[in-house]
Amino acid sequence: MSTPARPPPPSTPASSPWDVFVVFLRLGLTSFGGPVAHLGYFRQEFVERRRWLSDVAYAELVALCQFMPGPASSQVGLGIGLMRAGHLGSAAAWIGFTLPSAIAMFLFAVGIASVEDAGQSGWLRGLKVVAVAIVAHAVLGMAKSFSRGLWQGALTVVAAGIVLRFPGFTGQIGAILLGALMGVLLAGEGSAASPSDSLVQISRRAGWISLSLFAALFALTPVAASLTDLAGLQIFDGFFRTGSLVFGGGHVVLPLLQAVVVEPGWVTEDQFLAGYSAAQAIPGPLFTFAAYLGATQSAWPSPAMAACVAIAAIFLPSFLLVTGLLPFWQRLREYRQVAGAMVGVNAAVVGLLLAAFYNPVFTAGISSLEDLVLAALGFAVLAGLRWPAWSVVLIGAIIGLLRGAVGQ
């Protein structure tokens, strides 16, 4: 069977932005299961069904997005939209895939705000307990993939210790940098990927502009936020830095966002864990958790505006990095040091998630033996029976509601 022809570059779009939006909107409404499942849905839709790109081009795009920080599945969607309909297609893909879950998370935040003493609600306590099972399952899955060797396992433990000892971005960035260094030193002799044809025609000039804008925002926004009292700028800074540093995507966003919104007091731990659990029960990217946090935060009096700023800021690095790195990816991936650094970074981010599992997920979610039993049961059905996370979330909320009703 012949390989499907590679789609034309963005300069000659093969689809309209509206076509791209409609396809991704349907995926945004139906793609349950997290980033790994999303990549499977994308391959089925765009490689097998629509033949928008070949298996080789799709694998290349996935490899690039795994290399970059940020939500891998959303970045793959951005790349596919870019290939089919240029930069407008990239935006259309992101809006279609992100909008349903972003609206759902915003409405959930508004609903919690309207409930008096929501932090003591039985269903909310149930969500906090279920979060323990979900994060434990995520830690186990990532450890199997990224902490398989002796030095990778040791690095995971050290990274967790660093983050627990130095909470916030300082410890997290230190752990990631340590992982990259150890990866270069210990995994740098591994085989590099073989070169292949370019994925999409983007000029190097456009790539440099995108990378320069990313670097300028990453370096200057924290300075501007520290020199002003503008809550909107501080929210943008925190969520932009999070989107710039989340290697591994998905659940790894948890510790970084916790440092951004819980430590300054914008969101309580109860609100944070409730929103994180609710995010498991909806389709689409987990990063739309940012819409909930923006709407819930107390730093800015406009929940809707804060939600928009938060979700735009956390995804903006992905736009800039996808456009910026595509022109250089073929050459970059040939270097063994780059491949080695990513091995170390991936092991370190497992440590970040392990630290987040202990604090705040476990410490805030487990307060009794009954909580521990419920969390263990949730983990068992996730890991053993392979139930989808959204079903476990719904069951946990119902059990929490019943426990609250009987006064436990």
Whole-angstrom distance, CA of residue 95 vs CA of residue 24 = 8
Q: Which two tokens stand for residue 71?
A: 């939500």
Whole-angstrom distance, CA of residue 224 vs CA of residue 144 = 41
- Of the candidates 405, 142, 149, the one whose C-alpha atom is nearest the C-alpha of residue 254 is 142
Whole-angstrom distance, CA of residue 28 vs CA of residue 393 = 19
What pTM does this model have? Answer: 0.71
| 230 lies in some domain | yes
Whether residues 148 and 243 share a domain: the answer is: yes
Q: What is the pLDDT of residue 362?
A: 84
Cis? peptide before 360, omega within 30° of 0: yes
Of 63-72, 84-93, 139-148, give the range with the top mean pLDDT: 84-93
Q: 3-state DSSP call for residue 64?
A: helix
**Is 14's pLDDT higher than 60?**
yes
Whole-angstrom distance, CA of residue 268 vs CA of residue 109 = 13
| 397 lies in some domain | no
Residue range 336-353, pLDDT digits in tens: 777 787 788 778 878 877
Whether residues 223 and 333 share a domain: the answer is: yes
Whether residues 188 and 241 share a domain: the answer is: yes
Question: What is the band of 41 on the pLDDT scale with cuts at 50, 70, 90?
Answer: confident
Higher pLDDT, 389 or 101: 101
Question: What is the band of 270 on the pLDDT scale with cuts at 50, 70, 90?
Answer: confident
Report which residue type is found at 405: A
* pLDDT average, residue stretch 356-385: 84
Higher pLDDT, 114 or 397: 397
Question: What is the band of 31 on the pLDDT scale with cuts at 50, 70, 90?
Answer: confident
Residue range 324-333, pLDDT digits in tens: 888 887 677 6
Q: What is the pLDDT of residue 190?
A: 47
Higher pLDDT, 122 or 155: 155
Higher pLDDT, 338 or 210: 210
Whether residues 235 and 334 share a domain: the answer is: yes
Whole-angstrom distance, CA of residue 167 vs CA of residue 259 = 7
Number of neighbours of residue 273 by Cβ within 10 angstroms? 27
For the chain, percent of residues with pLDDT exceeding 90: 22
Whether residues 39 and 183 share a domain: the answer is: no
Whether residues 140 and 39 share a domain: the answer is: no
Domain span at residue 21? 17-93
Whether residues 186 and 56 share a domain: the answer is: no
Whether residues 145 and 57 share a domain: the answer is: no
**Is 197's pLDDT higher than 60?**
no
- Sign of the CA dihedral running 287, 289, 295, 296: negative
Residue range 294-310, pLDDT digits in tens: 999 877 888 899 999 99
Among 10-19, 111-120, 229-238, name the one with the lowest average pLDDT: 111-120
Q: 3-state DSSP call for residue 321?
A: helix
**Is 97's pLDDT higher than 90?**
yes
Helix-then-strand count for the chain, H and E:
18, 0
Cβ 221 vs Cβ 240: under 8 Å? yes
Whether residues 75 and 135 share a domain: the answer is: no
CA distances from 239 to 149, 164, 289, 330, 354 (A): 33, 21, 11, 29, 21
Residue range 136-195, pLDDT digits in tens: 887 787 788 788 888 889 999 999 999 888 876 678 778 888 988 888 888 655 444 444
Last residue of a domain, one of 75, 93, 111: 93
Whole-angstrom distance, CA of residue 48 vs CA of residue 293 = 37
Count how many domains the chain has.
Answer: 2
Whether residues 85 and 185 share a domain: the answer is: no
Whether residues 249 and 320 share a domain: the answer is: yes
| 388 lies in some domain | no
Q: Which two tokens stand for residue 362?
A: 């476990």
Quick one: which H or E segment has residue 144? helix 122-146
- Vertex 230: Cα angle to 114 and 270 (nearest 5): 35
Report which residue type is found at 199: L
Whole-angstrom distance, CA of residue 191 vs CA of residue 337 = 10
| 125 lies in some domain | no
Q: Which two tokens stand for residue 358?
A: 């202990």
- Of the candidates 346, 1, 3, the one whose C-alpha atom is nearest the C-alpha of residue 196 is 3
Whole-angstrom distance, CA of residue 345 vs CA of residue 152 = 10
| 296 lies in some domain | yes
Report which residue type is found at 118: A
CA distances from 311 to 3, 14, 294, 296, 318 (A): 38, 29, 8, 13, 12
- Of the candidates 227, 175, 217, the one whose C-alpha atom is nearest the C-alpha of residue 320 is 217
Whether residues 193 and 54 share a domain: the answer is: no
| 36 lies in some domain | yes
| 67 lies in some domain | yes
Whole-angstrom distance, CA of residue 13 vs CA of residue 30 = 26
